Amino acid sequence: MLPDAGLQRGRVIGCSGAAAWSIALGLISRAVCTGSWVAFVGAPMVGLEAAGEFGVPLARVVLVDVDRNSSVWAERVAAAADGFDLIVTCPPVGAERVVRRVRQRLQARGVVLVAVSATTPSLACDLELTSTSVAWAGIGQGAGHLMARRVTLQVAGRRMPRPVERELLLPCPNGRLRPVDPEHGTDDDSDRTDELELGRAV
């Protein structure tokens, strides 16, 4: 679904909607598994147990506290860019006023920033991944267990010539992220989106 077949260094990616955190963790999992380090900056609501279930090695995860001051947030993100391949953050109010210097540091260091927000982040993201509808599977008439969550994901942004949509199981029964076959409505093993990784710099 991503236009460059993976995360590209120096890019800013926004994740929003009801499944925003699941999308973000699914995006970074392969990159961290293959050797990248990730800093969660100003993201106190991240669930480390959930990150582990998405395949993120917690030994390569660092948490950085930030108050809701946009200037402090920009300083912490810029500092993290000096030592990490990936930064996941919840931008505070006013982040759009300081994002230019943050973006310059990200591009200079070749770092990917993933901005997570309930609504579309106001950071002029290169890519915006928005979960537009959510439905759970596995519960019957008063019985059963939650097995999977079906999410409609829209990808748009400055790097997309036009928005595209795809249905995903997020998570699927094994706890990971998997696309749904558009013709048969079933999960498709041939195009595993939980295997996205950092691409080379462009």
Contact assessment for residue 9 and residue 111, using Cβ atoms and an 8 Å cutoff: yes
Domains of the chain, by residue range, sit at 12-188
pLDDT at 107: 94
pLDDT at 166: 82
Tell me the average confidence (pLDDT) per consecutive run of 10 residues in the chain, 202 residues long.
75 90 89 94 89 91 91 95 96 89 93 88 84 67 59 83 80 59 49 38 34
Contact assessment for residue 87 and residue 38, using Cβ atoms and an 8 Å cutoff: yes
pLDDT at 119: 78
pTM for the full model?
Answer: 0.79
- What count of other Cβ atoms lies within 10 Å of the Cβ of residue 126? 20
- How far is 169 from 115, CA to CA, in rounded Å? 21
pLDDT at 173: 54
Strands (E) across the chain are located at 12-17, 38-41, 61-64, 86-89, 112-117, 127-139, 144-156, 164-169, 178-179
Query: What fold, for 12-188?
Result: Rossmann fold (3.40.50)
- How far is 1 from 87, CA to CA, in rounded Å? 21
